[in-house]
Structure 1
Amino acid sequence: MTATVLDRLIDDFLYFLRVEKGLSPATLEAYSRDLQRHGAFLRQQGLTGLQSVDPALLVTFFAALRHEGLGVRSRVRLLAALRGFYRFAVDQRQLTENPLLLLDSPRLLQTLPGCLSPAEVDRLLQVRGQDCLLDQRDQTMLELLYASGLRVSELVGLRCSDYQATTGMVRVMGKGSRQRLVPVGEPAQDCLRHYLAQVRPQLLSDADSPALFLSRRGRGLTRQGFWLMIKRRARQAGLTQTITPHTLRHSFATHLLENGADLRVVQMLLGHADITTTQIYTHVSREHLQRVHERFHPRP
């Protein structure tokens, strides 16, 4: 097999580490494995060099490593190898800029929250309590969270004026004081209409709060209170994995992508300022596409 530009660059970098940096054989072997793993990923993307490598592709690579079960320590070492490799590529004028400089380590090394299947989401949303006011409020919040993909801070921060019943949209104040409009499906809208007409007025009592979702004392809810509620409901639904509010946000994004939503649209709905943040969800979508291909293609 003819060596590609990428193969030759990896060999040159390992030679540099051995001769110029004097790294031990064990460290060189580990770096070689890491770089070959990265090279194999790039070749799967149809690349033989580095010119088309961008931050989004690197985020996808590390997301795939997490999904494969590679531990944090191994990913930290691999990240160190790639930092040196991409610096070397710039020095050798194989790249004009280092794509890793545009990404911070926590973003690459963070663990994605778990994702529920649509059936598991249904089980969570179908949990019913004693049909008291708080149970109806909780049901509305869960329906809205899955329908919109909001962050928990955005959910508990909603004001009554943020829900636009005529258009079926909610106005959200996201990170960096950026506003966005997010559409809400019919099940969540039905819950919101009932909550606003029948539940919230009773929770409000004599208090005067602009918050959409209220506590039993008529005040705005806290993130901690919502976390406890969703964990309790997950137990009632028989879900054994750890469920957090972000699990529903992650499930929202994943299910949209699996059903053909455009990545840019999902970016807007989630309120991500950078498309590379949304890119971490695409490895799940690619898995779904692979399963569909293997199931239906005559020669999988």
Structure 2
Amino acid sequence: MDSNLHNFNGYLEVEKELSHNTIESYNRDLKQFSNYLKENGISDFTNVNKTLIITYLMSMQKSGKSVSTISRSIASLRSFYQFLLNEGIISKDPTINLQSPKQEKKLPSILTPKEVEILLEQPDLDCSKGIRDKAMLELLYASGIRVSELIALNVDDINLYMDYIISSKDTPNERVIPIGKMAVNFLSIYIEKHRMNLIKDLKEKSLFVNYHGKRLTRQGFWKIVRGYTKRAKINKNITPHTLRHSFAAHLLQNGADLKSVQEMLGHADISTTQVYTLVTKNKIKEVYKKAHPRA
């Protein structure tokens, strides 16, 4: 066993030029498999068939190993046995057509409409910074744009008369997104009465600026969201992307069609948008279990 592993390590290091950490990851997976073989009276990697590997993977699953851990182990075994096959050490690859377990789709974290309301109520409306923050949060939830798109907005990307913004202007992902009256209202207040208190240069084009009068950064916005999350005392992991997720999920829950939501989010593939339908289905199940007398 040890000689085959030694030669495999040399192959990974010299021919594949993999990093030390990646090679160590392969070794850990193969060492665990080697221990399993020894426990079952098998002393050589070459005396392995597909059934034995499947049994090993099932034992990993029963012991509580995650899908990602099992998938990584399969990848390690597949690479190792492909190496042995290419070296002529084995005549048949026991991992051929071995299926990796399906990764469970991780549902995005979303806020309830009430939680969104609480979060958006946190900025202090008696100062220019608070009005700026209120306008940013309202706009993010109203449009579903990415944080990178939010901070990239210029003043002339906003049309308050027609109630829309132009996101990612002059890029392949440019799109016109309607915004609601709450976002329009606070954007109007911010632009007309408070933005001038924050900018240092009248030629500044950025819509949202920091204390230095320059365009707000992603890190700066993250700190703002984190501060308001603590103040709101919402027991969820809220990131700047959470309002984008909530925007999409709430639209679908209230009857919006998937294609329209896809276009507003700027997703190239509709399958990316479909993950929000899973959130909606989960919500329906929760409502059913709470409301139906025989659920």
Q: CA RMSD in A?
A: 3.6
- Give 1:229 shift: 0.6
Partners of 1:72 and 1:109 within 8 A in 2: no
Alignment correspondent of 1:73? 69
C-alpha spacing 1:76/1:146, structure 2 compared with 1 (3 Å)? farther
1:254 alignment partner AA: A
1:126 alignment partner AA: E
1:23 alignment partner AA: K
Separation in 2 of the partners of 1:268 and 1:254?
A: 14
C-alpha spacing 1:277/1:174, structure 2 compared with 1 (3 Å)? farther
Separation in 2 of the partners of 1:262 and 1:116?
A: 20
C-alpha spacing 1:79/1:212, structure 2 compared with 1 (3 Å)? farther
Q: Deviations over 1:99-138 (max 9, x none)?
A: x9xxxxxxx6885542212111111111133721111101
Q: Which one has the largest radius of gyration?
A: 2
Alignment correspondent of 1:254? 249
Alignment correspondent of 2:237? 242
Alignment correspondent of 1:22? 49
Alignment correspondent of 1:201? 196
Matched, 1:142 2:127: no
Q: Among residues 107, 112, 115, which one is paired with 1:117 in the alignment?
A: 112
Separation in 1 of the partners of 2:208 and 2:287?
A: 40
C-alpha spacing 1:199/1:118, structure 2 compared with 1 (3 Å)? same
TM-score (norm 2): 0.66
Separation in 2 of the partners of 1:234 and 1:110?
A: 26
C-alpha spacing 1:76/1:275, structure 2 compared with 1 (3 Å)? farther
Partners of 1:151 and 1:246 within 8 A in 2: yes
Q: Deviations over 1:201-226 (max 9, x none)?
A: 22224442111111222211111100
Matched, 1:168 2:163: yes
- Give 1:23 shift: 3.3
Partners of 1:148 and 1:182 within 8 A in 2: yes
Matched, 1:180 2:201: no
Separation in 2 of the partners of 1:255 and 1:216?
A: 33
Separation in 2 of the partners of 1:279 and 1:180?
A: 20
Separation in 2 of the partners of 1:33 and 1:176?
A: 50
State the number of aligned residues.
228
Partners of 1:207 and 1:219 within 8 A in 2: no
Partners of 2:140 and 2:243 within 8 A in 1: yes
- Give 1:240 shift: 3.3
- SS in structure 1 at match of 2:167: strand
Alignment correspondent of 1:54? none
- Give 1:22 shift: 1.4
Q: Deviations over 1:64-120 (max 9, x none)?
A: xxxxx9664256568999xxxxx959xxxxxxxxxx9xxxxxxx6885542212111
Unaligned 5+ segments in structure 2 are: 1-46, 78-95
C-alpha spacing 1:117/1:164, structure 2 compared with 1 (3 Å)? same
Alignment correspondent of 2:152? 157
Separation in 2 of the partners of 1:206 and 1:32?
A: 65
- SS in structure 2 at match of 1:281: helix
1:286 alignment partner AA: K
Separation in 2 of the partners of 1:262 and 1:275?
A: 11
Higher relative contact order (CA 8 A, sep 6+): 1
Separation in 2 of the partners of 1:30 and 1:263?
A: 42
Unaligned 5+ segments in structure 1 are: 1-19, 36-68, 82-86, 90-99, 101-107
C-alpha spacing 1:190/1:74, structure 2 compared with 1 (3 Å)? farther
- Give 1:166 shift: 1.9
Separation in 1 of the partners of 2:189 and 2:290?
A: 42
